[in-house]
Amino acid sequence: MAGQKRIIAGTGCAPLSERGNDLYETPPVAVHALLRVEPLPKVVWEPSCGPGSIVNVLRNAGHTVFASDLVDYGCPDSRSRVDFLMERSVPDGVEAIVTNPPFKLAGEFVSHALALGVRKVVMLLRIQFIESDKRSSILDDGSWARIYPFSNRLPMMHRAGWEGPKAPSAMTFAWFIWEAGHHGLAALRRISWEPEP
């Protein structure tokens, strides 16, 4: 297999050493699907904004979005060199955190967002996020309110710099919602990223 890149068996993704900062841009259609089913407050924070896929859709929908990331990917009106996991407070006025976190840090992002005390935490995550016992504290505490799995696979999210073939996604994603004041089981509603007829 000389000259071929090693793929981690069963995951369909490159080894962590090749994924760099784990930037996989969110398809705008995923954000539009979220907005059709989940009300968001006027002011939100996108702490892993990349080049602005989520930010642009939310701003175009009338939201004020504080955008930040560890790396400067060129998102308009954003702050770079901001390590979300080191932040101790949210920007003034922010009532929700909405992001597609680096998968390798997804659990940490959710835990930290909840610890910051915002009213709503919205994360685009692989559906397999629910399979881990080590995430029981954030999945079983009663604040996980809703999950919106996609009934059809999202358009492929290729990592930044990917030069290979553009294949359809083999991974399933969902929007996970944690909400202050929610106590009980999470509600499930399947959604589609395709526009409604």
What's residue 181's pLDDT?
93
What's residue 6's pLDDT?
31
Sheet holding 173-179, edge to edge: 78-79, 64-68, 43-46, 96-99, 120-126, 173-179, 144-149, 187-188
22-50 pLDDT, tens digit each: 567 889 999 999 999 999 999 999 999 99
SS3 helix, strand, coil % of the chain, rounded to 5? 25, 20, 55
Q: Is 32 within 8 Å of 194 (Cβ atoms)?
A: no
Structure tokens at 143: 């604040």
70-81 pLDDT, tens digit each: 999 899 999 999
Confidence of residue 11 (pLDDT cuts 50, 70, 90): very low
What's residue 197's pLDDT?
65
Between 168 and 178, residue with greater pLDDT: 178
pTM of the model: 0.83
Of 101, 103, 51, the C-alpha closest to 76 is 51
For the cut 90, the answer to whether the pLDDT of residue 85 exceeds it is yes
**Portion of the chain with pLDDT greater than 70, in percent:** 80
Q: Which residue has the tokens 């029981």?
A: 136
Beta strands in 28-119 (DSSP E): 43-46, 64-68, 78-79, 96-99
Of 98, 27, 36, 22, the C-alpha closest to 66 is 98
